């Protein structure tokens, strides 16, 4: 690695930071400019340290010669980190929403919140069905099949059956 401004590696607190025209590593992220296999252009991939797959892959700008990619720089890297972080955040929110459902059923004694928390265990997938009163006190909690569908009708039926295991 050369020590000119475009090809540099810094080391702070034992952390290597690479800043090359097609490869930047800093703040737990790696940006790599790669050949776009779909066309004749270039792409950039953003990989979070420790992750096997890129969080983001997108088109990258051609340089002035219209042949080679534009070199990475601090501003572009920071924008890519922000964008890739947002992609990961949205993915985590979608995953959370898929694994944790909550709805409210109105009963004679007041509203009851019914939750379904899916435990995506590779060997023992299951879900926990819970019921909570308006004050947040647990009324019931039991293990159900991971494929249990929480709907207003299934929650209502469970409440009306005195929290017995759904059939």
Question: Which of 35-39, 88-92, 118-122, 144-148 shows the lowest per-residue confidence on average (mean pLDDT)?
Answer: 35-39
What is the average pLDDT value for the chain, to the nearest integer?
A: 89
152: Cβ contacts below 8 Å, ≥ 6 apart: 103, 105
Res 16: pLDDT: 66
Res 37: pLDDT: 78
- The residue among 107, 97, 92, 95 whose CA lies nearest residue 150 is 97
CA atoms within 13 A on the CB side of 161: 11
Give dist(CA 43, CA 9) in Å, integer.
23
Entry pTM = 0.66
Give dist(CA 100, CA 102) in Å, integer.
7
User: What would the mean pLDDT of 78-87 be, rounded to a whole number?
Assistant: 96
């Amino acid at each position: 690695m050369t020590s000119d401004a475009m090809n540099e590696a810094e080391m702070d607190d034992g952390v290597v930071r690479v800043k090359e025209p097609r490869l930047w590593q800093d703040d737990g992220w790696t940006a790599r400019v790669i050949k776009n296999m779909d066309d004749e252009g270039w792409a950039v991939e953003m990989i979070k340290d420790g992750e096997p797959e890129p969080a983001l892959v997108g088109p990258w700008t051609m340089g002035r010669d219209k042949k080679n990619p534009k070199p990475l720089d601090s501003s572009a890297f920071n924008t890519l980190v922000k964008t890739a972080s947002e992609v990961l955040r949205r993915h985590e929110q979608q995953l959370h929403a898929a694994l944790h459902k909550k709805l409210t059923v109105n009963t004679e004694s007041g509203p009851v919140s019914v939750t379904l928390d899916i435990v995506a265990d590779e060997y023992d997938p299951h879900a926990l069905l819970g019921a909570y009163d308006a004050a947040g006190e647990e009324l019931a909690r039991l293990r159900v099949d991971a494929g249990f569908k929480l709907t207003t009708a299934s929650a209502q039926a469970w409440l009306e059956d005195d929290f017995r295991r759904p059939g």
